[in-house]
Each structure stands twice: as C-alpha cells, then as structure tokens.
Amino acid sequence: MIHPWQKRAVWGIGIAVAFVLLSLMYAYASRYYPLNSDTANAILEARDVVQGNVLLSHWHLTTVSYFTTDILPVAFGLLFQPFRPGSEHNIYGAIYAIVVLLSVWLASRRPSIRRYSAPGALAAFAVLAFPAPDQGQWLLLGPLHGGTMLWIIPALLALDFTVPATSSIGRRAWVRLVAAAICLALALIGDTMALYIALGPIALVSLLRLRSRQGNRFQEFAILGVCVTAEILSKAFQFLISRLHGYQIPPESGAEHVAFVAFDHLAENIRYALQGLLRIFNADFFGMGVGRAVLIPLLSFAGLLLILRCLQSAITTLGADQTANPGTAPLDRIVAIVAIGMVIDVVCYALCNLLIGLATLRYLVPFSIYAGVLAGRYGAELWHGIQDGRGKREVAAVFLLAAAAWCFPFAARALKVPLPGPSAEAQLGSWLQARGLTDGYAGYWAATSVTVETSGAVRIYPVSASNGGFEPFLWAADERWYTRKPVRFLVVEDTAFAGVDLKNATAAFGRESARYRVARFTILVWDKDISALLKQGT
C-alpha cells in the first residue's frame, strides 16, 4: 500500500527534476538572445539589492519599477549565481521554468472534482514550453513583463476555490484570499500592467457573478476586497519607498503619457496586433512561398485557431451566464479571468499609443501565458465534451501537429544552430579592460551591457546630449555613478542614441587625444578627466 506521504514525495521529486531540466533548457535557449542594457540594468539593480541597498536608494528606474517582479527575483538568483556574464540567462531561464510549471499546475486543476487533468497539463505545456523565436527574447530575458506572471499565476491558484452558495467562508479560504491579495500587490508594485491583465479581470468576473446571482455572494465580495486590498498595499508600498528615500520613477516615464492611439494610426495598430499574435505563436505564414518551409507556420496557425476557438467559446459562455437562471453553475472562475485578460491585453495593445510596430511584442506576454492556461483548463474539457468520436480524433490530431510545430523550431535551433559568439559589447569590454580604461560614458544601449559583460571590471555610465553638452541619462541608472572619477573615454555607437555622437562629444569635452574603433563602436579617449564637464541633469 502506498502512503500519501510517499505520493507527495514522488510528486515533489518529479517537480524538482522538471524544474531543473526546464531551467537548463531555457537558460541555454536564452543565450541565443544577446544581453542588452535593459536586462543589464536589472542585473545591476539586483546586485545592489544583494549588496545591501535593499530599497535601491539613489536609483532612478523606468516606466514601471519591476522591483518585485524582476529585481527581487533576480537578486534571489544572484545569491546562488555569481555576478558574471551568462548569469542573467540562468536566472531568467529559472524564472520562466517556474512560470511554466505554475501555469501547467493551474491549467490541470479541477477543484470541483478534486482531481488533476493530465490532458489539461499536457495541453498547457505544449503551448508554453517552447517559445517561438520572436517571443523567446521577451520570455527568456527581462525585465519585460514575464516576471509579472510569476505573481499573477500564484494569485489565480490562490483564488481557485469555490464556496457553496449557502456556506460561509472558512479559515482556509480566508488564508487563500490573503495570499491572493499579497501576490496581486507584489505584481502591481513591480508592473502596473497587472492592473488591467489581472486585477481588472478578477474584479469583473466577481461583479458579473453578483449581477447574475451566481455563486456565493460573500465569496464574490471577498474577492472584490482582495483587488481593493492589493491596490491599497501597492500604493502603501510606493509611499513607504518614497518616505524611506528608495528608488524613484522618472516623472517623464512612458507610464505618465499612456493614451489612446490617434485614429489615423488605429488601422496600423490593429495590423500589428494581429501580426504580433501570429509571431508569438510562430504562425506568421503570410508572405512565405508555397513549399515545405511554410508547413510549420501553417500548423502553428492551426493551433492558434484552436486557442482562439477556446477563447471565443469562453467569452460566449460567460455572456450566456448573465441570462441563465440564478443558482446555475457559472463558467469556471479561472477560465473566465484568463479569457477576459486575453481580450483586454490584445485590445489595449491595439489601442495604446506606446505600440512601436513589432518591437513591443513584450506587451503580449500575458496573452501567451494565459493562452496556455486556457488551452489546458478549458480547451481540454471542450475536447472531452465532443460527442462525435471522429471529430474528437481530428481535433486531437490538429492540436498534436500544432504542438509538434511549436516544438520543432525550438528544438531544431538548439540542435543545429550554434550559440552566438561574443557580442559586440563583450568585445568592447575586453578591449577597454586590456587598455586599463575602466570608467567612461556612452549612450544607453552601449553602457551597462558592457559593465555586466565584464563583470563590473569596466564601468560605462549612460549619458545624453543636452544644450551643447552631456548630462546623466537617469533611466534605470544610479545617480552615484556620475560622481566617480576619473572618466577618460566616451563610446559612440554607429547608430547614435540620445544625441551621443562624435559632433556633440567634441563640443562637450573638446578634441580627443585618441580615437579607436571596435566592432560598431568608436571610442574617444582624452588625457584628462571629462567628468567635470558633465552637466548635472534635473
């Protein structure tokens, strides 16, 4: 006879093994995407936390803080990983492995019958486990909203329970509600995107259930209280950060200028939203010639259509619940939340003024994660409900082919494509370190990535042109960087950013004593300390 503790031990070992294998797989896949300054800044911020600056005093962060969604998880990873090139890939690989495992767990749960669905787990895994090439850079590196799901999925797991209509909320349910509020607050502190992809859908589902008199009204009011509590906790945390002189969010950040897209650009945004959905599922076959190469995108497109069919069915069922007789069983809460979240994510993506073509696919990360949960939690049940045996087999065959199509590019690249060699930033860092040039300035995209690539041996601080000179570029930057002396060089990229070019460099710092060329960078070196000539930004 197998005792319950033995089953739990087997499950625990299995989950641990799965986590290790997935972490290794994603850490390797992450190395196909080069380190950039956004990720480098997250690593440097996390290192500062580990070194004792827990609230990131003197740091000016970005549009959102990413403090709880990326910086703290990366700081935890740095407790086990040395600060060196490649650590970011290992840490973000582990983060995505956790997101996948939590999502698969959520998708397989059937709390009404207290069982787990193997087809549901496999369906979710098929959708999430093998990120498309265009989506991998957003899921396997950060800080780009992938870490946000690290808190949202646990919040949904905590809310995945049902209180009978005539019963009161028990102690365990209250514990779950408190856990959900904390997880949602942590998501919201790090990323305001959680407000409309998590808190909004959760609250809307409870309001719809109250309107149609379905479920336990005390539970629905309690869940609404969870959303309000999460918002209050996030605001209280930001107030505390301000009072304790922690990190700052620049007042000119993009979050302050979010607006609806101009009507003249609406059609273009919709086109990019549709193409973005195709790209994140490796299903963009448009413009491809007829041949074997188009087979993988076509099969991936068939899988995407099945996911969209699940989404359409869930939204239709949710609408039908509003006209059903009171007391009837409503659509599963988690299915309703992720379906509404997917719709909101795509609509906001299409209507937002911050969309920059396909360069902002990171905003569709929640859609892709929710899609996996929906496929396992709802799609598997729809498949079970198909009465026609032939139709059931056909749907299964299409999904299996789509799963193979999602897996194939991911596996083929690992088997056939060698990892990229040293990046241009790594080459630049090695060149500077060999010549004893350890402190300098550069545009944003050529600065902190070099610092991380050299494990901090070379420190380059981002600057921007301003009124005939240069000033600190306080975007994911520590203001203390600009007090370090001496600074003797400036790096100029071929594609200048924020006015960091040769003309402005000469105007601000005078004629250089030497000029060198490495990869796509021009290095200007002076025989004096140029930090005194740096203007202090406001």
4-29 per-position pLDDT tens digit? 777 778 888 999 999 999 999 999 99
For residues 321 and 455, state if they share a domain: no
For residues 146 and 216, state if they share a domain: yes
Q: Would you say residue 351 has pLDDT above 60? A: yes
Residue 164: predicted pLDDT: 84
Residue 320: predicted pLDDT: 83
Q: Six-digit token pair at 149?
A: 């799901």
| Single-letter code of the amino acid located at 61 | L
Measured CA distances, 516 to 428, 496, 524 (Å): 11, 17, 7
Q: Would you say residue 356 has pLDDT above 90? A: no
Q: Would you say residue 254 has pLDDT above 60? A: no
Instruction: Please answer whether residues 367 and 277 qualify as being in contact, where contact means their C-beta atoms are separated by less than 8 angstroms.
Output: yes
pTM: 0.94
Residue 399: predicted pLDDT: 94
Tens digit of each residue's pLDDT (9 = 90 or more) over 277-288? 999 999 999 988
**Buried b / exposed e along 420-445 (16+ C-beta atoms within 10 A):** eeebbbbbbbbbbbeeebbbbbbbbb
For residues 233 and 331, state if they share a domain: yes
Residue 21 located in a structural domain: yes
For residues 410 and 503, state if they share a domain: no
Give the span between the Cα atoms of 35 and 481, in whole angstroms: 21
Largest CA distance in the chain: 83
Task: Work out the pLDDT band at 524, boundaries 50, 70, 90.
Answer: very high
Residue 27: predicted pLDDT: 96
| Single-letter code of the amino acid located at 201 | P
Residue 538 located in a structural domain: no
Range 438-464 average pLDDT = 95
Give the span between the Cα atoms of 446 and 444, in whole angstroms: 6
For residues 478 and 374, state if they share a domain: no
Residue 1: predicted pLDDT: 59
Instruction: Please answer whether residues 502 and 472 qualify as being in contact, where contact means their C-beta atoms are separated by less than 8 angstroms.
Output: no
DSSP string, 76-130: HHHTTS-SSTTHHHHHHHHHHHHHHHHHHHHHHEETTTTEE-HHHHHHHHHHHSS
Q: 3-state DSSP call for residue 439?
A: strand
For residues 128 and 268, state if they share a domain: yes
Range 474-496 average pLDDT = 93
Q: Would you say residue 324 has pLDDT above 70? A: no
Residue 80: predicted pLDDT: 93
Domain that holds residue 400: 4-416
Residue 384: predicted pLDDT: 84
For residues 408 and 471, state if they share a domain: no
Tens digit of each residue's pLDDT (9 = 90 or more) over 370-417? 999 999 999 998 888 887 888 888 999 999 999 999 999 999 999 999
Residue 2: predicted pLDDT: 66
Q: Six-digit token pair at 509?
A: 């710092």
Residue 491 located in a structural domain: yes
Number of domains in the chain: 2
Residue 265 located in a structural domain: yes
Residue 537: predicted pLDDT: 58
For residues 379 and 433, state if they share a domain: no
Range 350-360 average pLDDT = 80
Pairing mode of beta strands 59-60, 477-478: antiparallel
Residue 344 located in a structural domain: yes
DSSP 61: -
Q: Which of 384, 416, 448 is the last residue of a domain?
A: 416
- Which range has the worst mean pLDDT, 77-81, 142-146, 394-398? 142-146
- Which range has the worst mean pLDDT, 132-136, 164-168, 381-385? 164-168
For residues 493 and 405, state if they share a domain: no
Range 314-343 average pLDDT = 86
Instruction: Please answer whether residues 449 and 476 qualify as being in contact, where contact means their C-beta atoms are separated by less than 8 angstroms.
Output: no
For residues 412 and 428, state if they share a domain: no
Task: Work out the pLDDT band at 144, boundaries 50, 70, 90.
Answer: confident
Q: Would you say residue 538 has pLDDT above 80? A: no
Residue 252: predicted pLDDT: 61
- Identify the H or E element spanning 516: strand 514-518
For residues 410 and 436, state if they share a domain: no
Q: Would you say residue 192 has pLDDT above 70? A: yes
Residue 223 located in a structural domain: yes
Instruction: Please answer whether residues 485 and 530 qualify as being in contact, where contact means their C-beta atoms are separated by less than 8 angstroms.
Output: no
Q: What is the mean pLDDT of the chain?
A: 91
Q: Which of 394, 416, 438 is the last residue of a domain?
A: 416
Q: Which of 416, 437, 460 is the last residue of a domain?
A: 416
For residues 393 and 508, state if they share a domain: no
